[in-house]
Structure 1
Amino acid sequence: MNRKIIHVDLDAFFASVEQRDNPKLKGKPVIVGGQTDRGVVSTCSYEARRFGVHSAMPIFMAKKRCPHGVFVPVRHKRYREVSREVFKIFYGITNIVEPLSIDEAYLDVTNIEEDSVKIAYFIKEQVIRRTGLTISVGISYNKFLAKLASDWNKPDGIKIIKEEMIPDILKPLSIKKVYGIGKKSAEKLNNIGIYTVEDLLKLPKEYLVEFLGKYGNEIYYRIRGIDNRRVTPSRERKSVGREMTLKEDSKSREYLKKHLIEFSKDISRYLIKKGVLAKTVTVKIKASNFEIHTKSRTLHDHIDGHEQIYGIASEILDEIDVDSGIRLIGLTVSNLSDNYAEQLSFFDNLQD
């Protein structure tokens, strides 16, 4: 029996929440992100995307492309509140939910007798009724195709990809749409004249493996509609961290703290993307004599902002002796929260 996999993706999530909370922003090019020119775009409304604005773009560039855009700060706490409401709906349908980020997830509904299309429409109706937001849904018999389908008719779309549609429905697509082909791999393939999935289908498996390494085998089967990855409910990590061996041993706290700032930003981006919070901050150092020392601090409240993480990490570093010289510096957060534990019954009316 084929599996029934649903991929759900809230449309322009941060910007949509801002437009819902402030009706004056509806229909306007809303750009959510840093409030200085040194900041970056977290996400933007579809009105802003028409001007070429996209996530991770520097704010100064977004202002040039969309000078009349409405720039608003990121409100992580608010987005987590709305995300929890949406995930309650998912967990009310099945406990086989794999969160990918605060606004995206896979659901395995294979063991639910209800037709998967009816379930998809139920999700869309409940999300808009309970949160006022739209969500795009993809349905297929594996994860790759379900995720591809959810992006097919955005925003507020729904798409089903059946086994008999493969590979014809994939052939016109850019190779960039294939999960596992990143920017560098796409450029390598473009350089040998491979631009579409149809082009890719002509390459032998052995050539793909040699050309793309260990992912070549997966990609060969994926574009033929074969993806055996399971929807895994538990994606929890016990900790998230970064560390770096320095080019030269250092006794400079200022220099070491510059690395902690960068680590904090990377860790914060991960936490926010996954919709989780951390309560414990740990700084790790390796001295010039190769001795390793760690020092931790557990907070009263969970955090996910880079300034909060760095503030604690900086205080911890001030308590560590660096006079003997440091050859490695690391930062880890742990004691992560789970935002998506609550489950409801799919057969309830889900009344407020």
Structure 2
Amino acid sequence: MESPAIQQPQRKIIHVDMDACYASVAQLDNPELRGKAIAVGGGETRGGGSAASYEARKFGVRSAMSGYLAKKRCPHLIFVRPRFDRYTEISLKIRSIFHEFTDLVEPLSLDEAYLDVTQNKKGIPSATLIASQIRQRILEETGLTASAGISINKFIAKVASDYNKPNGQKTVTPDEVLPFLEALPIGKFYGVGKVTEEKMNQLGIFTGKDLKEKTEEYLAAHFGKSGPYYYHVVRGIHNSPVKPDRTVKSVGTEHTFNENLVSEVFMLERLEKIAAELERRLKKKKIAGKTVTLKLKYSDFTVQTRSKTLPYFISDASLITETVKELLYQERPKESVRLLGISLSNLNNEAGVKKTVAVQLKFDF
């Protein structure tokens, strides 16, 4: 029997994730919104919102869903404006709580982070107890609830934090790792989106146990570079350490589509929305960049990138779209496209001196 304790460093990792943070903040600050279905950002005639309350999620409303579809699913949905200054204020409070326990904190966004508490400042041997104390402190100091996952690596902790949401936690001990992953529905694996889940189902993969029966070569043949990742994580192997204060050299956003796109006209339409989201992130951080990169993931799961470096810094959606359009029409896509993304690198900071700045982080596979 395989033992994750032998195959990887034994760590105690916590993933803390605020519960519907943006929507919960709106309900916290405005009692009239409590218990109601709300979506932050977007609007019935505008792009997708950034978050939905649990009351809205019961009707199938999700983040990044178009306002039209969200309102169709939930006619009584209330749209509220995002307040990033307020989210940042709360995020700083939460992170100060994290640092009371450990300096090994890797933020993923304003509302979630990984913590390595193997050796912690309070000398508490139980990561489960630490997670409980952190969640209680967050509730007391912000009035908001958080969920947590606790395990031997970042992947399992991330999956576990979603297990008992909202306002709960799940610990997966070393002895429980393999049974936990084998019983897990494949759609619950972090990194497996809706389209990938459907493809796996077509291959007879419905649970971690099914996934584990496939060879690394088989998975690589069907899922490209993601294949070895799936092969290892289902065995509890994910050795990426918690990386505090990591500097990111690019800012990007991407979207996976429910149906593959075959026309450049439809792709450009989606890219305009992605560019608008990227502009929002860049302007929130007050940064710009010179190198624009277009990412295309095809129906066969191969990935292609195309880049262009400009002689000046940009952050405006129209300029990003103009460059991306040029990159898109450089060469006809070889297959239908399931994912599009835009990123900006060669960054400046507000003073225009540094080339890299700390921005919202992504989970590092």
TM-score band by shorter chain is 0.7 to 0.9
1:334 has 2:345 as partner: no
Distance 1:197 1:283, change over 3 A: closer
Amino acid at match of 1:43: A
Cα drift, residue 338 of structure 1: 4.8
Summarize the alignment of residues 81-160 of structure 1 with structure 2, pairs less than 5 Å apart: 81-112=89-120, 113-114=123-124, 115-160=126-171
Distance in 2 separating the partners of 1:50 and 1:2: 38
Could you tell me which runs of 5 or more consecutive residues in structure 1 were left unpaired when the two chains were aligned. 243-257, 285-290, 298-307, 318-326, 341-352
Closer/same/farther in 2, CA of residues 213 and 152 from structure 1, 3 Å limit: same
Q: Matches of residues 48-59 of structure 1 in structure 2 within 5 Å?
A: 48-59=56-67
- How far apart are 1:157 and its partner, in Å? 0.8
Shift of 1:145: 0.8
* Separation of aligned partners in 2, 1:152 and 1:48: 19
3-state secondary structure, aligned to 2:50: strand
Q: Which amino acid aligns with 1:218?
A: Y
- The alignment status of 1:207 with 2:218, answered yes or no, reads yes
Cα distance, 1:47 vs. partner?
0.8
Q: Which amino acid aligns with 1:53?
A: V
Quote the residue 2:192 is aligned against: 181
Give the direction of change, closer, same or farther, for the CA distance of 1:283–1:111 in structure 2 (3 Å limit): closer
- Cα drift, residue 36 of structure 1: 4.4
Hey, what's the Cα distance between the residues in 2 that align with 1:188 and 1:208?
Answer: 12
Please state if 1:65 is matched with 2:73: yes
What are the Cα deviations for residues 133-169 of structure 1, in whole angstroms up to 9, with x where unaligned? 0000110011111111100000001110011113222
Distance (Å, rounded) in 1 between the aligned partners of 2:145 and 2:111: 11
Give 3-state SS (helix, strand or coil) of 2:178's partner: coil
Normalising to structure 1: TM-score of the pair?
A: 0.74
1:279 to 277, 287, 312: 287
Give SS of 2:51's match.
Answer: strand
Q: Are residues 180 and 168 of structure 1, via their aligned partners in 2, closer, same or farther at CA, if it must alter by over 3 Å?
A: same
Instruction: Write out per-residue CA displacement over residues 188-237 of structure 1, whole angstroms, 9 at most, x where no aligned residue.
Output: 22112211112112222332232222332222221121211111113322
Measure, in 1, the Cα distance between the counterparts of 2:85 and 2:75. 28
Kept in 1: contact 2:246–2:358 (CA 8 A): no
Structure 1 position 5 matched with structure 2 position 45? no
Structure 2, unmatched stretches of 5+, are 1-8, 254-268, 293-307, 324-329, 332-342, 350-355, 361-365
What residue number does 2:245 align with? Answer: 234
Cα distance in 1 between the residues matched to 2:18 and 2:161:
10
Give runs of aligned pairs for residues 220-231 of structure 1, distance below 5 A: 220-231=231-242
Q: Mean alpha-carbon deviation: is it higher for 2-11 or for 69-78?
A: 69-78
**Partner Cα separation in structure 1 for residue 14 and residue 207 of structure 2:** 25
C-alpha contact (below 8 Å) 1:82/1:131 kept by paired residues: yes
Using the alignment, how far apart are the partners of 1:104 and 1:169 within structure 2?
Answer: 23
Between the aligned partners of 1:181 and 1:39, the Cα distance in structure 2 is 24
TM-score by length of 2: 0.72
Alignment check: 8 A CA contact 2:149 2:161 kept: yes
Distance in 1 (CA, whole Å) between partners of 2:26 and 2:69 is 21
Matched residues, number: 298
3-state SS in 2 of match to 1:39: coil
Contact 2:208/2:234, CA 8 A, preserved across alignment: yes
In structure 1, what is the Cα distance between the partners aligned to 2:281 and 2:163? 26
**Separation in structure 1 between the aligned mates of residue 19 and residue 310 of structure 2, nearest angstrom:** 45
Q: Structure 1: which amino acid aligns with 2:183?
A: P
Question: How many angstroms does 1:65 deviate by?
Answer: 1.3
- For the aligned residues, what is the CA RMSD? 3.4
Greater Rg by CA: 1
* Residues in 1 aligned to 2:270 and 2:311: alpha-carbon distance in whole angstroms: 16
Q: Residue 41 of structure 1: which of 46, 49, 52 is its match?
A: 49
Q: What letter corresponds to residue 100 of structure 1 in structure 2?
A: L
Secondary structure at 2:115's aligned position in 1?
strand
Which residue pairs with 1:295 in the alignment? Answer: 312
Query: In the aligned structure 2, how far is the partner of 1:282 from the partner of 1:222?
Result: 36
In 2: Cα distance, 1:278 partner to 1:338 partner: 11
1:37–1:24 CA distance, 2 compared to 1 (3 A): same
Match of 1:162 in 2: 173
User: For the residues of structure 2 that align with 1:260 and 1:39, how far apart are their CA atoms?
Assistant: 12
